[in-house]
Amino acid sequence: MNRAALFDVDGTLADTNHLHVTCWWEALRQAGHEVAMHDIHRAIGLPGEDLLAHLLGEDRDTDGDGTLTAAHDTLYGTYFDRLPPLDSAAELLRELDRRGWRVVLVTSAREAELAALRRAVDADDALTATSSSDDVNEGKPAPDPVRHALELADAPAHSAVFVGDTVWDMKAASRAGVTCVGLLCGGIPRADLEEAGATAVYRDPADLLARLDDSPFALAPTAGQEPDP
């Protein structure tokens, strides 16, 4: 039985959430929408169309969604060569790979953005697969991205752990039946992550790596084991 270590990327392995906030704020401002950065921050992690629905309402004129998304993507693309990885992100992925976990990235980013994030994290040698928003019909908080990642890892939900930094990550993993680990480095409060399904919360990848032996990764079933009833 394979074990899957599933990771969100933005805000979890790369310190990019506030870059997204700034780029969405500017894209919305250019289109005449006044949206508080705090509200945008809470929506980060949703796919673009869902993020706009969350911020502007389901009854908005969706004809403008493409322009808003393109503006965000253009602005964010200017950072592609300098996206900052979080401390020990690559080391965490490599240690899990060394311990026999199949590491899969699960992100709402599209392929071009994901490629830039992978370059920033610089741990492709530890990855089994990646799952982007282009691979599923419905993004987080729907369970589809997590279920797709489990298929890529050829692992059952009960032998998987998902690490993310937003409530959308926690909800998606919980709905897929996967153990959730929250990180605070994306800026979302501990209580919100726990309410959304996190069974454990750590400061950042470095903190999780230092405490790996006492984390949900140490409690997951090993090969040949079945979950407790």
CA distances from 214 to 89, 102, 157, 160, 211 (A): 18, 19, 20, 16, 6
Q: How many CA atoms lie within 13 A of 67 on its CB side?
A: 10
The percent of residues in the chain predicted with pLDDT above 70, rounded, is 96
pLDDT in tens, 130-181: 988 788 888 899 999 999 999 999 999 999 999 999 999 999 999 999 999 9
Question: Do 17 and 24 form a contact (C-beta atoms < 8 A)?
Answer: no
CA distances from 129 to 67, 69, 151, 165, 216 (A): 31, 26, 10, 20, 21
Domains and CATH numbers, the chain: 4-15+83-219 (3.40.50.1000), 17-78 (1.10.150)
pLDDT in tens, 196-205: 999 999 999 9
